[in-house]
A and B are shown apart, each in its own frame.
Chain A
Amino acid sequence: MKWALLIGALCLAGCNKPESTYARNSDVKAGDIKSGYAFLQDDTKALQDDDFANPGFLWVDRGKRLFETAETGASTCSTCHGAHGMPLKGVAAHYPKVDAKTGKLLNLEAAINLCREQHQGLEPLAYESDDLLGMTAYVASLSRGEPVSVDITGPAAKYYEEGRDYFFRRKGQFNLACSQCHNEHWGEKLRGDTISQGHGNAFPAYRLEWQDFGSLHRRLRDCDTGIRAEPQDYGSETYMAVELYLAKRAEGLAMESPGVRR
């Protein structure tokens, strides 16, 4: 009887078990949550910590300049978000967020572009352009040190579920899910990199490998192509949803943008 069971189990595991679309359920225990910063080498940490050496501040400064200057015919951002208006300190820590009017999920980049269109009568900036990265980095930098905290209730719930679905879904030629690296193998060495828990709290960030400053979506595209999965578009609803899922997962971590990563 025992034998038959054992053999049955072997056969099932070996030949007949249908593969699941999803990786197994897993998480990072609440007490273990750590920023990607914790896995960096000392010289990379030092670069992030020094505002004068951190290359990300080139984009923050660019964003600050844009924030305070008017494009032809438009008011400046600082007209509304100045010392007397709606200050932006701490605001970035609560993105992505659902836009009450349209029900759409907005990350910081999208919120900035919406402001341009609705309040300044300007065209949206192209995703990953230095201007949009700069504005995003500037606004995010006003939340440095604030704990990540997003709302996933009400209209945000479906986006959270969509993001979670993406995180656990196996994909690409290598058939891996985000969760398999960032929940199950963080702390281990993937060649020169230590796999972190895959949080987004440092972005937009300067990546040494890019020799450039980039958005979280650029980082997600790298992880997708790393497993030979077709990456999603910049600013796509799917990556927005993943961004929301990641933010909830990173709840309480300090905002670091402009971060520096390998």
Chain B
Amino acid sequence: MRAVAPMSLVALLGGCEPQHDARLASDVSIVGDAVPASLTGAPGDAERGRAIFVSREEGHCVLCHQVEGLDAEFQGNVGPALTGVGGRLSAGQIRYRIIDAQRIWPDTVMPAYYRTHGLRQVEHGYEGAPALSAGQIEDLVAFLEAQAS
């Protein structure tokens, strides 16, 4: 049994991975709990990512998350602090959490920022588009990846 287990693990995981999450804005390949490949095919810009993280018109992640040393007033605490998150999670894990957190944690209040399908009562003007573009998400990944403790 012991020897067989890892084999069946591979077989079973193989059966369901890599997955293609049909509810997302583009074809994204999920491997385990990560999306390893950049959505744009290029690395993001951490400096722009910082602005998106704070800006009310863009990511506005500070609504729920705090990053120590970040220049932003009133950071929320509905989500965990992301200080040092780059030391805990790989870029691919961070990317997956921004793309579709509700797939990882079905009951979470964190929005799925790259989701477009299977939603109800979406405000006119937002239908069919993800909350953040592929480029904005890559910038955020670069910014958070750089948050090593």
- Of B35-43, B86-94, B101-109, B141-149, the segment with at least 4 beta carbons within 8 Å of chain A is B101-109
Chain A nearest CB from B118 CB (Å) reads 7
Contact B102 A175, beta carbon cutoff 8 Å: yes
Nearest A residue (CB) for B109: A180
Chain B nearest CB from A148 CB (Å) reads 27
Contact B106 A7, beta carbon cutoff 8 Å: no
Is B131 interfacial (CB-CB < 8 Å)?
Answer: yes
* Contacting residues, chain A, for B119 (C-beta < 8 A): 171-173, 175
- Given known pairs A176-B111, A188-B77, the reply for A228 and B120 (CB within 8 Å) is no
| Between-chain CB contacts (< 8 Å), 22 pairs | A1-B1, A3-B9, A4-B12, A7-B9, A7-B12, A14-B19, A19-B118, A20-B106, A24-B107, A172-B119, A172-B120, A172-B122, A174-B111, A175-B111, A175-B115, A181-B109, A189-B77, A190-B78, A191-B76, A228-B131, A230-B123, A230-B124
* Contacting residues, chain A, for B13 (C-beta < 8 A): 7, 11
Q: A residues engaging B (CB < 8 A)?
A: 1, 3-4, 7-8, 11, 13-17, 19-21, 23-24, 169-176, 180-181, 184-185, 188-192, 195, 224-225, 227-231
* Contacting residues, chain B, for A17 (C-beta < 8 A): 106
Contact A23 B75, beta carbon cutoff 8 Å: no
Choice from A1, A11, A171, A195 contacting B120 with Cβ under 8 Å: A171
Nearest B residue (CB) for A169: B120
* Contacting residues, chain A, for B70 (C-beta < 8 A): none
Choice from A19, A171, A173, A224 contacting B106 with Cβ under 8 Å: A19
The total of Cβ contacts below 8 Å across the A-B interface reads 102
Nearest A residue (CB) for B23: A19
Contact B64 A190, beta carbon cutoff 8 Å: yes
- Tell me the chain B residues, 2-20 only, with Cβ under 8 Å from chain A: 5, 8-9, 12-13, 15-17, 19
* Contacting residues, chain B, for A4 (C-beta < 8 A): 8, 12
* Contacting residues, chain A, for B122 (C-beta < 8 A): 171-173, 228-230
Contact B78 A185, beta carbon cutoff 8 Å: yes
Is B63 interfacial (CB-CB < 8 Å)?
Answer: yes
* Contacting residues, chain A, for B120 (C-beta < 8 A): 21, 169-172, 229
Complex Cα gap A195–B64 (Å): 11
Contact B76 A11, beta carbon cutoff 8 Å: no
Choice from A3, A191, A231 contacting B8 with Cβ under 8 Å: A3
Complex Cα gap A192–B56 (Å): 12
Complex Cα gap A172–B112 (Å): 11
Q: A21-B120, A172-B119 are in contact. List 11 more A-B contacts (CB 8 A).
A: A3-B1, A7-B13, A16-B16, A17-B106, A172-B123, A173-B131, A174-B111, A175-B102, A185-B109, A189-B78, A230-B124
